[in-house]
Chain A
Amino acid sequence: MLVKPSIPNPVETLAATDFVGPAELLADLLGGGSTALRRQAAHNLRDYPECGPQLCDILAEEPRASVRAAILNTLIRLRSADVIRGLVEHLRSENATLRNEVIEVLQDMPDEAMPILEQLLTDWDSDVRIFTANILSETKHPRTPDVLIGVIKSDPHVNVCMAALDGLLEIGDESMIDSIQQLGERFPEAPFVKFAVSLAIKRLQGVDYARGTT
């Protein structure tokens, strides 16, 4: 049986929402209230760029995925250098879910993230450099190919180079073949590098061939 729903009108809803400032919102987020309340607080914090760094910290502590998703959405909107710095710190976390969430949102703000990602490619921790190469591989930015080429030419760690090579497979073209060839020469003692390099070269030649014929 069809029944007409009754939906409150926007004015009534508006009246029900009181103004809440950033301090209260942060308190709501940290205060252990319901997940719905925490999500709403995270959502409303998008009007307060100054809370970005704190939100990045809270992200790591928040146990519920739906609240973290709301925090991440707010952080994407704020997308300041502070926010990006706060987010990349979580790449060092042991928590793989958190790391993956951070990787995804950084890919959604390529212009803002690029300078900081480039700095991260000189990080002492090779795991962080690998994650950074993974992020770059999926980041739509005009500098991405050059930056990844820079990695395979100079990063001392073979796994970082392999992560960058993976990215180049998706976005590269024939002009990169020389640099990729040199990668094989840089790690002569690692047979899998040789294998990956020859596969990559074939693939990039294939890409260009396909382009030329269509």
Chain B
Amino acid sequence: MREALRKSNEHHVTITSEDYAKFCEFFYKKTGIVFTDKKGYFVERRLQERIEKTKSESFRDYFSLLRFQMSGDEWQELINNMTVNETYFLREDYQFDAMSNGMLPEIAQERPAGRSVKIWSLPCSTGEEPYSIAIHILEKWALADSYAIEICASDIDTRVVTQARRGVYGERSLQRLSPELRRKYFSKTGVDQYLIREELRESIDFSVTNIIDPLHMSRYRSVDIIFCRNLLIYFDDISRRGAVELMYECLSPGGFICLGHSESMSRISSLFKPRKFGETVVYQKAG
């Protein structure tokens, strides 16, 4: 059990365990994210920071601001501070192999050349995932030039979406890229700073999207492959089901969802059939 009162030092306001529970419930309803007790310290520290930055006098003041501010700016700021944005180029790239060796050839079999193939990275965080998808397709899919490949990338966090559009990365992000790929797709613009080629930046549509918001999700239709990796781990089964339900609507018949390595569709939805490409399991919309 969490202690009843979170005692303040001189800068901090007091957050009772009821306040904390109320906050978590609100955050969960809006984002699908569940804060486990293990994360309590992290969450509370970020919350205190926001209370301080907005000069709110109490938790209650801050909570009202969060809920009723017309612009929604503070809510967005809070989300940007609470999300875990860890990502890097070619993360879990066995799935990209499954895409170029399995899913894309299957899609191409049914679709005349010249038509479009839609791929969506949701969530995209700072952009490494959608850029990796683009690079992987250009490098590894023989039919890449025969189709109009449309890549969308979205995240709930406005700060990471802006970073993704800029396309500037440090060494840590690029670790898994060979020198050849770095030369081909990046220019070095400073110490530990690489800019991704303009053609790639210009060809991906980046947007702010909340996966559990039906209105946001209704903008995406007829998507062939959704990469939804390392997000559902932060959700409970109920928000996972909700997210999967909305993704179902976004996919074309026979479309695929790729989840992160520790995520699975079992218990969430029977509307998708697991498909194996090599050792990689992805999920296919029936019909």
Residues of A within 8 A of B (CB): 1-10, 13-14, 17, 36, 39, 43, 65-66, 69-70, 72-73, 76-77, 101, 104, 108
Structural contact, A8 and B249, CB atoms closer than 8 A: no
Chain A residues, CB < 8 A from B248: 66, 69
- Contact of A7 with B151 in the complex, beta carbons under 8 Å: no
B204 touches A4 (CB 8 A): yes
Query: Any chain A CB within 8 A of the CB of B142?
Result: no
Roughly how many angstroms separate A212 CA and B242 CA in the complex, as a whole number?
40
Which residues of chain B from 106 to 161 have any CB-CB distance to chain A below 8 Å in the complex? 116, 118, 134, 137-138, 144-145, 147-152
**B215 lies within 8 A of A4 (CB):** no
Is B54 an interface residue when CB atoms closer than 8 A count as contact?
A: no
Contact partner of A3 (CB less than 8 A), chosen from B150, B219, B267, is: B150
Q: When A1-B144, A2-B203, A5-B205 are in contact, do A43 and B118 touch as well, CB less than 8 Å?
A: no
Q: Are A7 and B271 in contact (CB under 8 A)?
A: no
Most buried by B among A5, A36, A43: A5
**Contact present for B241 and A1 (CB under 8 Å):** no
Which residues of A are found within 8 Å of B242, using beta-carbon distances? Answer: 73
Cβ contact of B241, chosen from A9, A65, A76, cutoff 8 A:
A76
Q: What count of chain B residues pass the 8 Å CB interface test?
A: 38
Complex: A114 Cα to B219 Cα, angstroms: 39
Are B237 and A1 interface neighbours, CB within 8 A?
A: no
CA distance A70 to B248 in the complex (A): 10
CA distance A88 to B157 in the complex (A): 40
Chain A contacts for B286, CB-based, 8 A: 65-66
A5 is contacted by which of B145, B152, B200, B237 (Cβ under 8 Å)? B152
Cβ contacts under 8 Å, B145 to chain A: 1
Cβ 8 A contact of A10, one of B134, B219, B241, B269:
B219
Inter-subunit contact A3/B116 (CB<8 Å) = yes
Contact: A17 with B245, CB < 8 Å? no
The answer, among A2, A17, A70, A108, for a CB contact under 8 Å with B138, is A2
Please list 20 pairs of residues, one from A and one from B, whose beta carbons are closer than 8 Å in the complex, sorted by A's number.
A2-B134, A2-B200, A2-B203, A3-B116, A5-B118, A5-B150, A5-B151, A5-B205, A7-B205, A7-B220, A13-B218, A17-B215, A66-B286, A69-B241, A69-B270, A73-B241, A73-B245, A76-B238, A104-B267, A108-B238
Residues in A whose Cβ lies below 8 Å from that of B148? 1, 3
The distance in angstroms between the C-alpha atoms of A70 and B269, with both chains bound, is 10
Residue of A nearest to B120 (CB): A5
Asked if B214 is at the interface of the complex by the 8 Å CB criterion, the answer is yes
Is B7 at the interface (CB under 8 A from chain A)?
A: no
| Contact B214 A4, beta carbon cutoff 8 Å | no
Q: Which residue of A lies closest to B214 (CB)?
A: A43
In the bound complex, residues from chain B placing their C-beta under 8 Å from that of A66 are: 248, 271, 286
B207 contacts partner chain A, Cβ-Cβ < 8 Å: yes
B200: A residues at CB distance < 8 A: 2
Q: Which of B134, B150, B219, B267 is close to A13, meaning CB atoms less than 8 Å apart?
A: B219
Q: How far is the CA of A3 from the CA of B149 in the complex (A)?
A: 6
Q: Within 8 Å of chain A (Cβ to Cβ): is B188?
A: no
Check A7–B219 contact: CB distance below 8 A: yes
Enumerate the 4 nearest inter-chain pairs by beta-carbon distance, A residue then B residue, closest first. A5-B150, A2-B203, A3-B148, A5-B205
List B contacts of A73 (CB < 8 A).
241-242, 245
**A1 to B203 alpha-carbon distance, docked (Å):** 10
